[in-house]
Each structure stands twice: as C-alpha cells, then as structure tokens.
Structure 1
Amino acid sequence: MTANTMSKASVSAVESSRPSGLARLLRWLPSVLFILAGVLLFVSINQPYWGLVLQAPQYPGGLQMRVFVNNMTGDDDPRLDEVREIDGLNHYIGMKSLYEAAKLERSIAIPAVILMAVMLAVAAVWRRRWTWLLAVPAMLFPFIFLADLAYWMANFGQNLDPYAPLSSSIQPFVPPVLGEGVIGQFKTVAYVDTGWYIIITGSALILVGVLIRVVGMVRARG
C-alpha cells in the first residue's frame, strides 16, 4: 500500500467517524427545545391559565373570572370586582371563599415556574445520561395545574356550608373543570386560557426533546 493510498484511507476513516449533519442536528435539537420550553414558561406567568364565565339572572352579561398561576382577576371592567361577585354568589349556596383555595400553590407558583425553567436550562446544557429527568416536572406542569384545580373545585363543591341561605336547595356537587355546568339557577362555562396553551406547547416541545435524547442515548449504547 502506497503512502498516498494510506493517506486517503486515513482521511476516509476520519470523515466516516464524524457525525452527519442529521446526527448533529438531533444531538443539539433537544437542548434547543428545552430552552424554548423554558422561555414559554416565563411568558405564561403573565397570562391567564384558566377561565370561568358564570351566568346568573341578576347578571345578564355574565361574570368572568380568570385564573393566573398565582392570582385571580375578573375582566378588565374597573367598575366591578367580578371575583368578589362570584364569591358572593357562592356564599349563598355554601361554598367557601375562592381566596381560600390553593393558598400554598399560589404562594410558591412563581418560584416553582422559575425553578422549572432553570432545570430545563440545566438539562439543555448538561447532556448527561439522566439529566433529561430535570425536564419532566415542566413537561407535566399543565396536567398538574388542571389536577390541582380539579381537586380544589371538588373540595369546595363537596363541602358546602349546611347553614348557607340556599343550602336546602343545593346538594353537594363537583364543578366541571372544563365545559358547562349548572348549579341551581347558575350556569358556568369553564375553559383553559392562553397561559395553559402556552405551557402545553412547552410540554410538547419537552416531550419531543426527551424522546430524541433518550433514543439517541439508547442507540449510542447499543
């Protein structure tokens, strides 16, 4: 074998050992997806995650409540505090005040979102065998939010004050987290809002990133 042939063989071996463009893309894509998901988490903080419209005879236009990650508001009408109005109507059927719900969750919500974003950043830049697990809390966050909301709604609906003005006409119930519900003469429509759609988009990005990274690790080991 001549020196020229050996040189060509050496170059060919080096080139074949280099990862292809697709391989490099798949190597870095999870990190990009994790970073994007972290940005979406931050963006979601200022957006409502969930909303409720309550329709009652005395409120022809309905009352609206929007739930953010750490607080509740009505619509943008400064003349009416809609959350307190809904609270007052709930009082007649024996429900606890909305402000008593999820106190712990609301108090830690912003730090928790920041922590999940930091964990995503670590998972993005520190590509070790198990670091993808750091992305799992953020991936599950949209479903944890709805599950916690469902818990509190069921808790309030099932534990009515027996001495409330309308307690004799309202039986314990479970308010729907999504869709329509009827409670006595009140009708409610519940829906997920902008913030939740933002975090579920982030969750989908994380899922894709985790799958790519895990499959890549399995192939590298095999």
Structure 2
Amino acid sequence: MKKASIIMIIGSLLLLGLFKFPLWNIMLGAPQYPDPLGMNIYIDGIKGVSEFDLQNIDGLNHYIGMKTIPKADEMWEFSMFPKVIFGMALLGIIIGILGFLDKVSYKFFLGWFILMSVLGILGMYDFNNWLVDYGGNLDPHAIIKVTNPDGSPMSYKPPLIGFKKLLNFDVTSLPHTGGYLMFVGMSLTLVAFWLGRKTSVKKTT
C-alpha cells in the first residue's frame, strides 16, 4: 500500500504543472501567415504563442464579427480553475499520505480519479460552450459575411480537439504540456488504485 500511496502523491503533484504550463493550444495557419498564429490556454488566462499573436488573431476576427479573445478577468473560469486544480492536487496528496499511513483504503484513490474525471468533463463541456459562442455569436454588422451553402451564417468555431478548415485557415486544437501532465497524473492515480487493490488482495489471501 505504501508504494501505491507514493504513486498517488506523485500523480496528484503533477497537476501543479498546470500552474506553469498551458493546458491547451490552438494554432491557425494560412498561406499569408508563414508562421502560424497561436494561443495557449492556461488555467488562469490566454496568452499568444508569440508576442503579437493575440493582437493579430483579434484583428482577423474583427472582419468576420468575432469577439475579441477574453482577458483573464472577463471569464469566471480563469479565477475558478486554479482553485479547483490546487484543491484537487492537495486532496490527492492528503489521500496519498493517509494511504501511506494505512488510514484510508485504496478505494479513495479511485474516488479521487472519478471526481477529477467528472470535473475534467465539466471543464471540457464549458470550454466547448465558449468555443461555440466565440465562433458562432458574430456581429451582424461585420465587414465580411460568409454563409454556408444553405444560406445560413457560417460558424467559425475552432475544433474542441483535432483539425478543422475555417475558410483559408487550418485550425488545430490539442492539449499542451499542462494537459498531458494532468493526463499522466490521473493515469498514475489509477495505477495507484490497481496496486493498492493488488496489495489488499494479497493480505486477505
């Protein structure tokens, strides 16, 4: 159980990488931009991959009526996410320490994983809703108006994950370093649960 508990603690600590590294990345490439424009999404705000990327993206978006990229204080998520991540990391560390001291069952490791998974799904759902609003709620007085073949207004929603063609832009949306650290950390807590269960079974046989 001690080995499982140490892995649980390490997995929880990896979540703290989200305070330094981006959770997600969206890149936009087009023939007129040899160097693609990009934005890194952190748990506490959005930054350009290069110095003027956000400014250039907002300039392009203005022509088709999209909103400007929100500042950190314009979205409640950017004040809530750091608290949630810190709280879950702290909870996981406490559970790991208690497991090391044989004060809690290995089942708490799985409970933490399920809770973190639910919070992650809710976060992805919220992020997708923001993308829908960002790419679909356009200014009707925009300079450029592009419609679908059926005449309906075209949505410029970036993909939640993967690749999408938006006019002459190739848009790619993928997890970044912080997102991968979170995935590895959560996977380690599953490993901790499996090891804890294996140890518990051995003790009872």
TM-score range, shorter chain: 0.7 to 0.9
- Bigger relative CO (Cα 8 Å, ≥ 6 apart): 2
Amino acid at match of 2:91: M
**Displacement after TM superposition at 1:205 (Å):** 0.3
Counterpart in the other structure of 1:178: 161
Mapped partners of 1:144, 1:30: distance in 2: 28
The runs of 5 or more residues in structure 1 that have no matched partner are 1-26
Counterpart in the other structure of 1:106: 78
Amino acid at match of 1:124: G
Counterpart in the other structure of 1:153: 131
How big is each residue's C-alpha offset from its partner over 1:63-106, in whole Å with a ceiling of 9 and x where there is no partner? 12111121211234x4xx21122122122222222206981111
The runs of 5 or more residues in structure 2 that have no matched partner are 148-152
Mapped partners of 2:117, 2:190: distance in 1: 7
Residue 195 of structure 1 pairs with residue 173 of structure 2:
no
Residue 37 of structure 1 pairs with residue 30 of structure 2:
no
Equivalent position SS for 1:160: coil
How big is each residue's C-alpha offset from its partner over 1:166-199, in whole Å with a ceiling of 9 and x where there is no partner? 2344512542122222222322122221111111
Return the TM-score normalized by structure 2. Answer: 0.78
Counterpart in the other structure of 2:36: 62
Equivalent position SS for 2:25: strand
Amino acid at match of 1:166: I
Mapped partners of 2:95, 2:32: distance in 1: 52
**Displacement after TM superposition at 1:151 (Å):** 2.4
Mapped partners of 2:78, 2:108: distance in 1: 28
Mapped partners of 1:93, 1:100: distance in 2: 20
Structure 2 CA distance for partners of 1:219 and 1:95, relative to 1, 3 Å: farther
Structure 2 CA distance for partners of 1:100 and 1:161, relative to 1, 3 Å: farther
Residue 167 of structure 1 pairs with residue 145 of structure 2:
yes
**Displacement after TM superposition at 1:215 (Å):** 6.0
Counterpart in the other structure of 1:11: none
**Which of 57, 77, 91 matches 1:86?**
57
Percent identical residues: 26
Deviates more, 1:178-187 or 1:194-203: 178-187
Amino acid at match of 1:104: W
Aligned pairs, how many? 193
Mapped partners of 2:196, 2:69: distance in 1: 42
Mapped partners of 2:204, 2:133: distance in 1: 48
Mapped partners of 2:170, 2:15: distance in 1: 32
Return the TM-score normalized by structure 1. Answer: 0.73
Equivalent position SS for 1:98: coil
How big is each residue's C-alpha offset from its partner over 1:16-35, in whole Å with a ceiling of 9 and x where there is no partner? xxxxxxxxxxx123211111
**Contact 2:46–2:71, Cα closer than 8 Å, also in 1:** no
Counterpart in the other structure of 1:4: none
Residue 119 of structure 1 pairs with residue 91 of structure 2:
yes
